[in-house]
Amino acid sequence: MLSAAILLSLSAVGAQAANRSDLHQRNLNQLQQQYRSLSATQGIAATAHRRHEQFMGADASNTLLMRSTRADRGVRNYRYD
């Protein structure tokens, strides 16, 4: 029973990783335009991770899990899984 649960959890992680997009390859101008359009119709999200999801164009099946946040010289940096 335990081995089946482990196998299931490992396959779920692999499926999640397959849905990740390489943000470094995305067109920044296009992302900004999509975010402006979305925030004009839906409003700006209240939390940082929701705003970042809006900016990336994440749909209801994709969410960001904030791992950590750090402020350095007045700039906030966020790390997500």
Task: Give the DSSP letter of residue 1.
Answer: -
Residue 16 has pLDDT above 70, yes or no: no
Say what the pTM is.
0.54
Domain boundaries, the chain: 26-81
81: nearest Cα among 60, 66, 59, 61: 66
The tens digit of pLDDT for each residue in 26-42 reads 888 888 888 888 888 88
Q: Report residue 19's pLDDT band, with 50, 70 and 90 as the boundaries.
A: low
> Quick check: 18 pLDDT over 60?
no
Q: What is the DSSP string of 14-73?
A: HHHHHT---GGGS-HHHHHHHHHHHHHHH---SSHHHHHHHHHT--TT----EEEEEEET
Write the pLDDT tens digit of every residue in 46-73.
888 888 888 877 777 778 888 899 999 9
**What tokens were used for 28?**
């920044």
Separation of alpha carbons 13 and 36, rounded Å:
32
Place of tokens 């779920």: 12
